Amino acid sequence: MAQSLDRLKESPSQTAGPYVHIGLTPNFCGIGGVYQSDLGSAMVNDQTKGERIDLRIRVLDGTGTPLKDALIEIWQADSNGFYNSPAEMRGAADPNFQGWGRKPTDMETGICLFQTIKPGRVPFRDGRLMAPHITLWIVARGINIGLHTRLYFSDEAKANAEDPILARIEHRLRVPTLIAERRGDAYVFDIHLQGEKETVFFDS
């Protein structure tokens, strides 16, 4: 026997369930007057630097049916590639951009719309630059532990080709599952939870 490492275990995850909106977007589900607005619903203001973009994201189940009770959070760098976080040690991020957003999928269409800016490039652990990307975290009824993935951009082919995370994907046919397609000022991104077109999800 050796000494105990004296560590705790992480609290096990449980599904967010179908009524996640009550806690995380109460105004969206008709519970007014408790919070002024739903946290994470507005990501940019007039002063935010960078190119305005819309993200139109859907989450589809194993039959291809869009989830209408999912909730997505996104986390991204500012237009210069800095995160607005105390753990960002390289410099100060744009004070007019928190970098975090939260949206439920529409209860009719299943579309989740974020209005944000295109992020700059962020260095990988060894200093190489990663391609511009947005981190996504998806929770819903039927999802026992939140799913992590990334959204990359179809008009960043050169940067995507040298991205160290995309390079880790052994099955190259799966790389396009992480690339949102540009349509005008919007990027369209379908997340397939299961099946042939299954999106690459991360354990990081």
Partner 1 sequence: MAEPGSNHSPETGAFFQRDRQWHPPAFTPGYKSSVLRSPQKALLSFDNTLSELTGPVFGHALLGELDNDLIHNFAKPGESAIGERIIVHGRVLDERGKGVPGVLLECWQANAGGRYRHKKDGYLAPLDPNFGGCGRAITGEDGSYAFRTVRPGPYPWPNGPNDWRPAHIHFSVFGHGFAQRLITQMYFEGDPLIWRCPIVGGISNRAAVEALIAALDMQSTMPMDALAYKFDIVLRGRRSTLFENRPEGN
Name the token pair of 64. 């291809």
Q: Which stretch binds partner 1 (CB under 8 A): 44-52, 151-159, 166-174, 179-187?
A: 166-174
Which backbone phi and psi does 178 adopt, to 5 degrees?
Answer: -105, 5
Could you give the CA distance from residue 127 to residue 118 in angstroms, rounded to a whole number? 21
Helix (H, G, I), strand (E, B) or coil at 35: coil
Contact by Cβ (8 Å): 76, 134: yes
Helix (H, G, I), strand (E, B) or coil at 167: helix
Q: Is the distance from CB of 102 to CB of 39 less than 8 angstroms? A: yes
Binder to partner 1 among 1, 3, 4, 30 (CB under 8 A)? Answer: 30
Least Cβ distance, residue 177 to partner 1 (angstroms): 10
Minimum distance from residue 184 beta carbon to partner 1 (Å): 27
151 scored as a contact of partner 1 (CB under 8 A): no
Q: Residues touching partner 1: how many (CB under 8 A)?
A: 80
Tell me which residues in 54-83 interact with partner 1 (CB under 8 A).
61-63, 67, 69, 73, 75, 77, 83
Check residue 156 for interaction with partner 1 (CB under 8 A).
no
Question: Which of 55, 143, 151, 180 touches partner 1 by CB under 8 A?
Answer: 143
Asked whether the beta carbons of 200 and 178 are under 8 A apart, the reply is yes
Binder to partner 1 among 45, 125, 172, 173 (CB under 8 A)?
125
